[in-house]
Amino acid sequence: MQTDSSFTFVLFGGTGDLSMRKILPALFEAHRAGGMLADSGKIVAVARHATDRREYIEWVNEHVKPHVSKNGVDETAWASFLERIEFVNIDLGKAEDFVHLRDAIKDLPGIRVFYLATGPSLFVPICHALASVGLNENSRIVLEKPLGYDLKSSNAINDAVGEIFAEEQIYRIDHYLGKEPVQNLLALRFGNALFEPLWRREWVESIQITIAEELGVEARGDFYDNTGALRDMVQNHLLQLLSIVAMEPPHSMDSDSVRDEKLRVLRALKPIDPRDIGKVAVRGQYHSGVIRGTAVPAYATESGVRPDSTTETFVALKVEIENWRWAGVPFFLRTGKRLADRVAEIVVNFRAVPHSALGASALRAGANRLVIRLQPNETIRLYCLAKQPGEGMNLASVHLDLAFDQFFREGQMEAYQRLLLDVINGRLALFVRRDEQEAAWRWVEPILNEWKVSNKPPKPYASGTWGPAASSAMLAQHGTCWLEEEN
């Protein structure tokens, strides 16, 4: 991915955790690869926790370096990367301070990218301040999640930002859309004749999408306790992955063609009747337990969390799509903290053969399945049945792997690296359009409202397990189970 696009990348929240762990390491990897970033491109960090460039570079050396280049840091590349970085110390709450930012970047070349790695409460003030000094022209702005607390607050932020930046200037980032297997899912579906005839209700029995974390809320207790898993993960990441899996083939891979098809899926989601929420939605909260031999505390005792909190740390949902391709196919979504493993995956369970002359094993659900693993390792695996060696016709499950590192010499690109390059080069396909976001909030809100009205506490689950038993029971009602339970 070569580029000659000159740019000035302005990073608000330049000393924050996201900048240290993800954004600056991604920019370094693009720099180190050579040719991905224009030589004239500059990175301008904006923060209050450093007084000048020298102090900021010391901060970067201490906090960013541990997160780059798994096989060691190329010191020559690192030194040249640091030369790209400038620093501006301003108070984001003071619009008058943005004059200093304008003066610092006015002579820097290329498109201006403003990345808001800050809390959402600062999105609108920053945008207004940028406009007050004329920095909203010839620019793009990247908004991190969460973008609002509900549909009303999301619309308020989008309205305010939309008054200052045109929709084609706004990049609402969801890093799961930048992951290599998600890109390969599009390639498998729309680049091969093999899967398209099977990618429909006649041949698919069910689909599971899981994003599981071993970690708890860590230092984010204050934020998380006012957010919960449904807002933090389902409304954005999980529904975006669902829309990629279920979308119709776009006429091209340009930004609006892809996003139009995703929007059609989100608008086709079957509304959940509040009376049925107990049957199709499971919410849980982790208690104390043991993960990999280490005792971990209950959610309610975490720092920043209210002792009587009813915030959910686990959600499992049964979702249906009301269109011709997917009518009647259940989509099971699941996410949670303090679960048994860190994994993100999409599981497509194909229907069993209608009649088997080879024994009962050929008739079991899931004998044929496609597993797209997003993390920790990124793979795509197709399962089928084959005869075991030896006497008799005994079948066993085998799999075919798409092993990226064996087919391609180039290393895989991290999600943030791909998405940041897309912003610099003006590619919007992997970013969330406003109408997509509204459709997702509109579907999620009845669940949030019913949970608030009913005031029922989340179901407890021990840390280090796969969540409340009700999650498994929900799938059992449909004659299936989560992938790890079958294994």
- Binding site for NADP(+): which residues? 48, 91-92, 145
Residues linked to residue 386 through DSSP beta bridges, in sequence order: 396
For helices 24-33 and 415-424, give the axis angle rounded to 10 degrees: 80
Which residues are annotated as part of the binding site for substrate? 175, 179, 213, 232, 337
Q: Is the peptide bond before 146 cis (omega within 30 degrees of 0)?
A: yes
List, as one string, the DSSP characters of 291-312.
Answer: ETTEEE--GGGSTT--TT----
How many CA atoms lie within 13 Å of 240's alpha carbon, on the beta-carbon side? 27
**Bridge pairing between strands 42-47 and 281-287:** unpaired
Residues 6+ apart with CB under 8 A from 7: 37, 38, 41, 42, 109, 110, 111, 112, 113, 424
Q: Distance of CA 298 to CAs 338, 391, 471, Å?
A: 9, 53, 19
Q: Which of 63, 237, 251, 287 is catalytic?
A: 237
Tokens representing 482?
């989560």
Task: Calculate the CA dihedral of residues 196, 198, 204, 210 and round it to 10 degrees.
Answer: -40
355 as an active site residue: the answer is: no
Residue with tokens 């099977």: 198
Q: How many CB atoms lie within 10 A of CB 256?
A: 14
Of 234, 195, 192, which Cα lies nearest the Cα of 370? Answer: 195
DSSP count for the chain of H helices, then E strands: 18, 17
Residue with tokens 């089928």: 384
**Bridge pairing between strands 459-462 and 7-12:** unpaired
Q: Distance of CA 380 to CAs 195, 198, 296, Å?
A: 14, 17, 32
Which residues are annotated as part of the binding site? 48, 91-92, 145, 175, 179, 213, 232, 337
Residue 232 DSSP code: I
Q: In which region does residue 483 sit, left (phi positive, over 0), alpha (psi from -120 to 50) or beta (all else)?
A: alpha
List, as one string, the DSSP characters of 310-359.
Answer: ---SEEEEEE-B-STTTTT--EEEEEESSBSS-EEEEEEEEPPPSS-SS-
CB 442, CB 237: distance < 8 Å: no
By annotation, the residues acting in catalysis are: 237
